[in-house]
Amino acid sequence: MTNLNTDSGLKRPLHSESPIKQIPDDAQLNFNVTIKQALSDGREPPGKRRKRGYEECALCCEELYRNRFPNMPHATATNGCKTCFTCWGRHFQQELEAKDWDKLGCVQCGTILTTEEYDRIARSIKDTKQMNATLQRKAADSYLRQDLGDGECFVTCPSSTCKGGAIMADGHIFTCPDCKARYCFSCNTPMHEDMTCEAFLELQKREEEKEKEETLASETLKKHSKECPKCKARLQKNGGCDHITCKMCKHEFCWLCFAPYRGANGILVKGNIAHEDGCRGDESITGELLVPGELLVPGQVLLLGDDRTEPRVRFGQAENATRAHVGFDPQN
């Protein structure tokens, strides 16, 4: 770089007095990105919205142009409405689900709106097809009730998923014009074709009793049975020892602690120490050593050990006595 002499005789780099361009920090970069995004989707950048006629919705807190708010929702409103048309639409849907068509209130103060006031607001709400259909149906039902003659009655569909209804002048069979479901109002049940009310009620009673019996049987089975640890089949024990063999998969296990009898860690190999802690099959056993070939009396203790002194296996009453042979391989 070329150096120049100064008045003091010192040298300094060329262009050393040029301004240095600063790189914006993260906060400045984020602010710039926010402005670009706002301009790209037609919104004004932060800090300028209120100057351009923006308002904040009191419910959703979105900042929108003032033309997205009703100027005067009803005649008694004192101030401009601070709720956007989108929130008005959600409010009307909730009102129509819970109230009559002519009881819709203001979202801010609850004042009942007239039909004209509702129409004026609804015209600026998007996707009002379902909302208007609900209002028209409720209005029609209301007018029908007012115009009913003697002996006529308006019946609402009993279905929990249908809001339809119809006039019943006589008879007891109701057919909903909306969902087409049929009901018998003599016994207040779904329509039972080719069956009297008495026969249908008796059939319902038997089905309810059968369901109760099946539930009780299922609970009893769970209470007095256990699952096979291997195949999960339900097993019941009606006596005998605690050495159980599953009829489904032939798995042998202890009824109390589910310890297996077979295998390297089974009771037939490790003895009573294979039982879970606290299982009464884990109690220490004593007895006389049987000589090779001697038969095992049911319930007697069989001692098999390398030194013929260590108690290793206890067979229950259901065990085959011929297993007392010293040459018996408990792993098979």
| Nearest alpha-carbon partner for 118 in 133, 130, 134, 135 | 135
Q: For residue 145, give every residue at least 6 positions away whose Cβ sits within 8 Å of its Cβ, in sequence order, or none.
A: 154
Query: Using N-to-C axis directions, what is the helix angle for 85-98 and 129-146, rounded to 10°?
Result: 30
Q: Residue 306 carries which side chain, given as an amino acid letter?
A: D
In which element (H, E) is residue 168 found? strand 165-168
CB atoms within 10 A of CB 18: 7
Give residue for tokens 């003697």.
150
Collapsing DSSP to helix, strand or coil, 194 comes out as coil
Query: What share of the chain in percent tops pLDDT 70?
Result: 57
| Bridge partners of residue 207, in order along the sequence | none
Grade residue 115 by pLDDT with cuts at 50, 70 and 90: confident
Collapsing DSSP to helix, strand or coil, 64 comes out as strand
Instruction: Give per-residue pLDDT as tens, 48-63.
Output: 445 467 788 877 888 8
174: phi then psi, degrees, rounded to nearest 5 = -110, 130
Instruction: Give per-residue pLDDT as tens, 266-312.
Output: 999 988 888 988 887 654 433 333 333 333 343 333 333 333 333 33
**Among 12-16, 142-146, 205-209, whose mean pLDDT is lowest?**
12-16
Say what the pLDDT of residue 83 is.
Answer: 80
Q: What is the pTM of this model?
A: 0.32
Say what the pLDDT of residue 320 is.
Answer: 37
- Structure token digits, residue 240: 């005998």
| Nearest alpha-carbon partner for 67 in 52, 77, 78, 45 | 52
Q: Residue 236 carries which side chain, given as an amino acid letter?
A: Q
Q: For residue 141, give every residue at least 6 positions away whose Cβ sits within 8 Å of its Cβ, in sequence order, or none.
A: 154, 165
**Among 18-22, 109-113, 135-139, whose mean pLDDT is lowest?**
18-22
Indicate the average pLDDT of the chain: 69
Handedness of CA 225, 228, 233, 237 (dihedral sign): negative
Say what the pLDDT of residue 213 is.
Answer: 92
101: phi then psi, degrees, rounded to nearest 5 = -65, -30
Q: What is the DSSP letter of 260?
A: B
Cα distance between the two ends of the chain: 94
**Among 64-73, 90-99, 138-147, 261-270, whose mean pLDDT is lowest?**
138-147
**Among 84-93, 165-174, 209-218, whose mean pLDDT is lowest?**
165-174
CA distance 112 to 105: 4
Q: How far is CA 289 from CA 25, 69, 307, 313, in A?
A: 90, 98, 11, 12
